[in-house]
């Protein structure tokens, strides 16, 4: 189910502005990869290029290639919609659909695509996804209530359930815990740990403890100055990045002596 991601010399542009330059890395299947770095250094921009969400912003485009199990996402004739069905995404702020119930939110990927599903299959998928997101016990009695009636942490886990309900190969998480309290954060970190068995996970985070807790590999992004493109400075095992980084800038950042 999980897949290997290979990025070769990727440049990301917003119109004429080069936002991220020359990123090359390989993400192994069934691993958690954390991307850390200061604000505005292009972590989220890079993450969004991994499922072509980047181009939703007008004027944005990409040069270089991203291979998922050898298939180039940016090859000619590639349909971004098909890419996004393989590579799911969880956003910084929980964003359940306000017009849908909790159950419908989980089924959103199916229902919005006009696919029909037997009632029993749908119920199974809801239960499986919500169990996968560690939310089933909390919401099983009120699946018909609106998704916005949940707390922030529950909403974020609902969004994760929604993302895994379409059975993607890769899940991207853009600072999934930044709007949550420590207990909800812990719940989601535990969840990431469990999900690692089935999915390839890439997570952007500002919290270095979180990166060291959940990830196997860590990439450090940095920016030389305002208006300059962000770059991948170092990419290595998480333990190496946090204990024995090979580049001075990485060590300054992870030890808090940055800037």
Partner 1 sequence: MSTTTVAVPLTNSLTAGKLPRHSGPVVLLVSWLVTAAVFLIVQLSGASTSFNVAGTLFFGTVLYCIAIYLLSFFVEGVRKAKDRLVTALVTAAFVIALLPLISLVATTVISGLPAFLTPTFFTSSQRNVVGPGGGALHAVIGTLLITGLATLISVPIGLLSAIYLTEYGRGRLARAITFFVDVMTGIPSIVAGLFAFALFSLLFNDPGIRFGFGGAIALSVLMIPVVVRSSEEMLKLVPNELREAAYALGVPKWLTILKVVLPTSLAGIVTGIMISISRVIGETAPLLIISGFTASMNYDLFNERMMTLPVFVYTQYANQGTDTQAYLDRAWAGALTLILIVMVLNALARLIAKLFSPKLGR
Q: Which residues bind partner 1 (CB under 8 A)?
A: 51, 53, 56, 58, 81-86, 88-89, 91, 93, 95-99, 108-109, 111-114, 145-146, 148-149, 159, 162-163, 166
> CA dist 112 to 3, 117, 167, 168, 245, Å?
25, 12, 15, 16, 45
Distance CA 127, CA 125 (A): 5
Specify the residue, 174 or 234, whose C-beta has the smaller distance to partner 1.
174
Q: Shortest Cβ distance from residue 112 to partner 1 (Å)?
A: 4
Least separation in angstroms between residue 45's CB and partner 1 is 14
Q: How far is the C-alpha of 154 from the C-alpha of 142, rounded, in Å?
A: 13
- Closest by CA to 170, choosing from 252, 47, 256, is 47
Helices (H), 107-217: 108-111, 119-132, 136-139, 152-165, 182-195, 208-214
Please state the closest distance from residue 81 (CB atom) to partner 1, in A.
5
**Closest CB to partner 1 among residues 82, 224:** 82
Min separation Cβ 69 and partner 1, Å: 17
Residue 63 or 145 with smaller CB distance to partner 1 = 145
3-state DSSP percent of the chain in helix, strand and coil, to 5: 35, 25, 35
Handedness of CA 257, 185, 172, 152 (dihedral sign): negative
Of 53 and 233, nearer to partner 1 (C-beta) is: 53
- Between 22 and 146, CB nearer to partner 1: 146
Whole-angstrom Cα distance, residue 145 to residue 45? Answer: 34
Query: Based on CB atoms, which residue is closest to partner 1, 46 or 253?
Result: 46
Which residue is listed with tokens 């359940």? 96
Residue (of 35, 41, 4, 39) closest to 21 by Cα position? 41
**How far, in Å, CA of 218 to CA of 237, rounded?**
6
**Least distance (Å) between residue 64 CB and partner 1:** 22
- CB-nearer residue toward partner 1: 51 or 210: 51
Nearest-approach distance from CB 252 to partner 1, in angstroms: 33
Q: In the complex, what is the shortest distance from the CB of residue 219 to partner 1, in angstroms, rounded to a whole number?
A: 21
């Amino acid at each position: 189910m999980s897949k290997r991601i290979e990025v070769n010399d990727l440049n990301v542009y917003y119109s004429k502005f080069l936002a991220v330059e020359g990123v090359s890395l390989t993400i192994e299947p069934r691993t958690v990869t954390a991307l850390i770095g200061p604000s505005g250094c292009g972590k989220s921009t890079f993450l969004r290029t991994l499922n072509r969400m980047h181009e939703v912003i007008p004027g944005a485009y990409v040069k270089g290639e991203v291979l998922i199990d050898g298939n180039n996402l940016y090859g000619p004739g590639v349909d971004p919609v098909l890419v996004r069905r393989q590579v799911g995404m969880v956003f910084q702020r929980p964003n359940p659909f306000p017009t849908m119930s909790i159950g419908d939110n989980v089924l959103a990927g199916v229902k919005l695509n006009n696919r029909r599903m037997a009632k029993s299959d749908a119920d199974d998928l809801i239960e499986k996804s919500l169990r996968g997101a560690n939310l089933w016990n909390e919401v099983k009695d009120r699946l018909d209530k609106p998704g916005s009636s949940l707390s922030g942490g529950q909403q974020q886990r609902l969004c994760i359930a929604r993302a895994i309900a379409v059975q993607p190969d890769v899940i991207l998480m853009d600072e999934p815990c930044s709007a949550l309290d420590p207990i909800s954060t812990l719940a989601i970190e535990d969840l990431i740990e469990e999900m690692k068995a089935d999915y390839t996970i890439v997570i952007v985070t500002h919290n270095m403890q979180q990166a060291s807790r959940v990830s196997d590999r860590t990439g450090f992004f940095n920016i030389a100055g305002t208006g300059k493109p962000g770059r991948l400075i170092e990419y290595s095992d998480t333990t190496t990045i946090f204990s024995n980084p090979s580049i001075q800038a990485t060590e300054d950042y992870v030890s808090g002596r940055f800037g």
